[in-house]
Chains A and B, each alone.
Chain A
């Protein structure tokens, strides 16, 4: 910067401000686009159990809680979740998953699913499916 003439410095400053304005405008456009997309997809409206159940009719994996609360579906179960989280969210009995999936780990229910799979060298897809199946059958029969 020391070797630049005052005119060059001024030019650089103006170029910097123009660049900043352009980046700002581009981000604004991107923000508006993503807002529109999400709005159209209905993602920006608070969802209530009744609405969600109507929309996903036929999905037996909803956990019905208090009426103002959102629901989690079985499809949204991820390996980073814990057994405790699933037990709370799907309103399962505390030892249901342990008994159904024959889990012997003493850390149950405070253990991540993916850690459990890794530790006991289980097939990830197969185990995730059996977790989903267990919750599905509880939701269907209540047992």
Chain B
């Protein structure tokens, strides 16, 4: 939290919406920036009158859309060429399980694309798999935009309504996401064979 306050928040205060746009964009392009925390903090500033909350939401959603679409098109056009050159990644993307997951995402992308917008690493994975699997662009754009809007609204509303308790709320959301994603990891680990068997049946 101290890192966020010392190194990112001053830029938000100095460059306002430009800083929010650039930092959110970098985060959706795979750079390790705490975009969720940043949105919560910015919305807390909005609740104090420093930002306009509507402009803040529009800027953050736009940045997410630009970043996610950029990554989607990059992986769609050059993803395979690049990944085939890296030994262990080539193994992963040519594995039977990855092909099954990719196929599943390509045929029914809506839910996966929407839900992955709420966590940075999941968003990256979702964008890469969508690009590699050549998910129809219109579908990707629709669910990506809806997911981005929902996640930005979630984070900004937290910051806006909890105001100067935003640091406490941010820590709590951080703890909750850890629990949530660990629980998903446990479920996937426990039911991996079943999941793969189901995917094989579907395909």
Contact = CB atoms under 8 A, between A and B. Distances in A.
A60 B64 CA distance: 41
Size category, A interface = 35 or more
Size category, B interface = 20 to 34
B175 A30 contact: yes
Contact of A34 (B44, B172, B182): B172
A96 interface: no
Contacts of B45: 85
Contacts of A136: none
Interface string A110-123: 10100000000000
Interface string B10-40: 1001100000000000000000000000000
A69 interface: yes
A43 interface: yes
A78 B179 contact: no
Interface of B: 5-6, 9-10, 13-14, 44-45, 47-50, 161-165, 168-169, 171-172, 175-176, 178-179, 182-183, 185-186, 189-190
Interface of A: 16-17, 20-21, 23-24, 27-28, 30-31, 34-35, 38, 41, 43-44, 46-47, 63, 65-66, 69-72, 76, 78, 80-82, 84-85, 88-89, 110, 112
